[in-house]
Structure 1
Amino acid sequence: MKFYKIMIALLLLSSCKKSEPIVITPNDYHNAIDKVVNIMIHDIFSPPVASRIFVYPNIAAYEIIAMQNPRYNSLSGQVSELTQIPKPKAPDQINFQLAALIAHMDLSRQLVFSEDQITSYRDSLYDIWEHKNPEVFKNSQDYALEVTKHIVQWMNADNYKQTRTMSKFNINSDDISRWEPTPPSYMDGLEPHWNKIRTFVLDSASQFKPNPPPEFSMEPGSKFHNELMEVYDISNKITELGDTSEEMQIAQFWDCNPYVTVTRGHLMFATKKITPGAHWIGIAKIASKKSNMNFEDTVYAYTKTSIVIFEAFISCWDEKYRSNLVRPETLINKYVNDNWKPILQTPPFPEYPSGHSVASGAASTALNSIFGNDFQFDDTTELQFGLPIRSFKSFDHAANEAAISRMYGGIHYRAAVDEGVKQGRDLGMFVVNSLNMVNE
């Protein structure tokens, strides 16, 4: 009889046990971002599309944080057509950090091809959180999904779906100044209609239209021909110096081309890498960790950076398909040396301006506004691809190196690099000054 009394007492104590608090850390958000990056590498998204996959989930998470934390201001009314997210009916029964993380994962899952990978990752976390506190988990999940639905409705009006059915880019093979597909895969021009995607802060895709490239001319001594031969001469010099040269290491470090294909005999396959936007998202992660940011500040850093990168690709792609300039590889093979190959594989879209340069100029400006102009960091982003750590004294230092890497790699003329990074910084400063995200 005594034994049964003890058992009953234990059962009563067990049933009265308080639920554990669900603690969400900055690392939980970093891990969710990392999961998305790895899936994006696997699914091989183009740089513009990748920027879209980053930005909407971050905005969803940020809006939930701004609903609860008075330090942050909602983006509704600040970015195009975004209205205020639903208010929670019982805010005291919601873990807002948990809701932000769930919203990020759920929206990310809807934007990638391999959604099962995020679903599996998400469900493994759901098991832990639900076990700790079923009521708070359920309330937070319900609110997160309500917000996600709101953001998806807004997102679906950005013209992305319409651009999926628009015509391919028309190649003008009779004009040698115009872009044409490059080896080894000779892919069609990617995302020729990206300038039709709704901007967030810019009044149009062409608001930061850069200076035009040098007038096309194959006449020796002309500015354009000089820039063409500069690419050729630098590439030959770097190749002669070998893999140990600083220029070669810079080119390889900032490659970030998700469309690299390798040909071996009759076999052609792709090697998968991150996009330039993903590299700068990785730098945002490095800076957030070094600064010991809390969860809310971490979400803010990612959101601001991803907004600027998204705008940068719309602006850059608008000019790419307007100027429609031929790549160095095409002209060098036709008129200088038919055996020449660039150090990096030429990506499948027109040359001007450099996408790396525009995105890097924009991202560095956003990160300067968060962490300061002299933020030193070690960039470990490319370790997973077997490349060593590079150290930078500032975000501008990194952006300048990313930009010049494209000329070292043999895929851009100098004007595309110089004008591109300026375009990115001008655009980035405009976005930063236009957004009022933080109450200091």
Structure 2
Amino acid sequence: MKGWSKYWVLLTGICLMTCQTDDSYKEKVTDPVYLDNTLSKLTDIIVYDIFSPPVASRIYAYASIAGYETLRHGHPDYPSLAGKVSELTEIPMAKSEDVNYNIAGVFAFAEMGKALIFSEPKMDEFLDDLKSRYTEAGVPRKVLEASIAYGLEAKAHIMEWAKKDNYNETRTFPKFDIREDPGRWQPTPPDYMEGIEPHWNVIRTLIIDSAQQFTPPVPTNYDMTEGSDFYKEVMEVYETGVNLDEERTGIAQFWDCNPYVSHHKGHVMFATKKITPGGHWMGISQLAARIDSADIMKTSKTFVYTSIALFDAFISCWDEKYRSNLIRPETVINRHIDENWTPLLQTPPFPEYTSGHSVISSAAAVALTSIYGDEFHFDDTVEMAYGLPMRSFNSFLEASSEAAISRLYGGIHYMPAIANGVAQGRKLGAFVVESLNEG
């Protein structure tokens, strides 16, 4: 009997250790690093594929929504976005008890992002690595397979909804109509590209009721008579550009966020790829979550609030851009003030009013402030990967204000586009937050 007793004690001990080992992965996969790394990879691919800022915002938003809506099934304190986000319905709960929602949410995010990019093999490589990391963390094969399968189901659910947002239809819409009206936007040097996404205002919004809900005041009337309001605005841009100091130059370059900057030397042309403005703010959302030591669900909420604010802000801004069709400073200054003047930054290929940086940065800052508070110091290291130094801020709104004024320093915008863009973005951001926080 004593022998059998010792045997059963030993067997019980082994069983207990095995059970603990089998379950230890559950805590490991709650680490937000998996989701954070997935967003970083998505940003890398967006930069590589050279998506325009509005289109990039769509990728971020749908991937973030897929991740959040999947993850929340394992975190019941977090409500669904269904009923708040336009036409979105809840992703059904998993049928298999083997599904781990923390794992499934990361794969839903990645797979949704993969469905919207060009370079799918790059995401496939990342997914293979992600599977290996989960396996090394001790995730049982049946759990990993069930979680991946459910992540794909979640992605399919979100994809079916995303396909109805008018994006595909706008690919066949007519190009922007270029006319020689004196104050109307014209393509700018060095590439004289056509206006990008002139029909972005018909993309289905996520929270705001329409692209026109936060329409800003009309821009200053075009009038190059010396002493007119518009003339003064033009001269402000010109004189700011002529008298740039090191600090303002650094600010402009830090917030440039132009996904495709072309360089011309004689007959040679090459391009520099960089992060989009929305990508910069998604990077700031990552920094905020890391600094706060946010868990995986709060991290997901951070990404989804920020990306939704960015998505609707781009629609609102682009609606005004292609309604007012205001001429860029570079064109006016070259025609009437100084034909040899060039802005510090390359002028992006779309109308001037309102400032995209001002609108989207303000909206994103309001969204992040709603989660992390008014006083949140952070060192913005997002642009270091693109050869720019770190900048420090005491709040998200402080950062967004600097992003806005950077466009004057860069020679890209007149002041009304900046000031009215900030107001537009903050109002929109507050509405997005209020709507998402309901219920």
- Aligned residue in 1 for 2:8: none
- Counterpart position of 1:172: 179
Q: In structure 2, how many angstroms separate the alpha carbons of the residues matched to 1:154 and 1:425?
A: 28
Q: Which runs of 5+ in 1 are unaligned?
A: 1-12
1:351 maps to a residue whose letter is E
Contact 1:259–1:347 (8 Å) recurs in 2: no
Q: Given the alignment, which residue of 223, 232, 242 partners 1:217?
A: 223
Are the counterparts in 2 of residues 66 and 72 from structure 1 also a CA contact under 8 Å? yes
For the pair 1:48 / 2:54, whether they are aligned, the reply is yes
Other-structure match for 2:269: 268
Partner of 2:298: 297
Q: 2: distance between equivalents of 1:70 and 1:50?
A: 30
Contact (CA 8 Å) 1:86, 1:146: kept in 2 or not?
no
Task: Please report how far the alpha carbon of residue 130 of structure 1 lies from its aligned counterpart in structure 2 after TM superposition.
Answer: 4.8
Matches within 5 A, 1:32-431: 32-90=38-96, 92-130=97-135, 132=138, 133-173=140-180, 175-238=181-244, 241=245, 245-431=246-432
- One-letter amino acid of the counterpart of residue 205, structure 1: A
Kindly state the Cα deviation for residue 128 of structure 1 after the two structures are TM-superposed.
Answer: 4.0
8 Å Cα contact 2:74-2:102 kept in structure 1: no
> Deviations for 1:170-193, whole angstroms, at most 9, x for unmatched residues?
0012x1100000000000000000
1:356–1:402 contact (8 Å) kept in structure 2: yes
Deviations 1:40-59 (A, max 9, x none): 11111100000001010110
Distance across 2 between alignment mates of 1:128 and 1:366: 32
How much does 1:373 deviate? 0.7
Q: Give the % identical residues.
A: 51
Any idea what SS the aligned residue of 1:93 has? Answer: coil
Partners of 1:128 and 1:270 in 2: how far apart?
35
What amino acid does structure 2 have at the position aligned with 1:73?
A: P
Letter in 2 for 1:309: L
Q: Return the offset for 1:218.
A: 0.3
The SS at the match of 2:42 is helix
Q: Which moved more, 1:405-414 or 1:428-437?
A: 428-437
1:272-291 CA-partner distances (Å, limit 9, x unpaired):
11111011111111111000
* Alignment partners' CA distance in 2, 1:278 and 1:236: 30
In structure 1, C-alpha distance between the alignment counterparts of 2:80 and 2:34, rounded to whole Å: 22
User: Deviation of residue 232 (structure 1)?
Assistant: 0.2
CA distance in 1, matches of 2:74, 2:37: 23
SS of aligned partner of 2:155: helix
Contact 2:112 2:155 in 1 (8 A): yes
* 8 Å Cα contact 1:73/1:436 also seen in 2: no
- What amino acid is the match of 2:119? S
Shift of 1:129: 3.0
AA in 2 matched with 1:273: K
- What TM-score do you get using the length of structure 2 for normalisation? 0.93
1:21 aligns with 2:25: yes
Q: Deviation per CA, 1:160-213, whole angstroms, max 9, x where unpaired?
A: 00011111000012x110000000000000000000100011111011000011
SS in 2 for 1:21: helix
Moved more, 130-139 or 250-259: 130-139
Counterpart of 2:5?
A: none
Q: Which runs of 5+ in 2 are unaligned?
A: 1-13
Cα distance in structure 2, aligned partners of 1:285 and 1:352: 29
Q: Aligned to 1:343, what secondary structure does the other structure show?
A: coil
Shift of 1:61: 0.9
Q: Distance in 1 between matches of 2:339 and 2:375?
A: 45
Q: Distance in 2 between matches of 1:294 and 1:430?
A: 26
Q: TM-score, normalised by structure 1?
A: 0.93
How many residue pairs end up in the alignment? 418
**Cα separation, 2, equivalents of 1:71 and 1:183:** 52
Q: Which amino acid aligns with 1:47?
A: P
Structure 2 counterpart of 1:4: none
Q: Deviations over 1:401-434 (max 9, x none)?
A: 0000000000100000000011000000011111
CA contact (8 A) 1:65 1:72 kept: no
Q: Which amino acid aligns with 2:299?
A: T
Amino acid at match of 1:335: H
Distance 1:172 1:159 in 2: 27
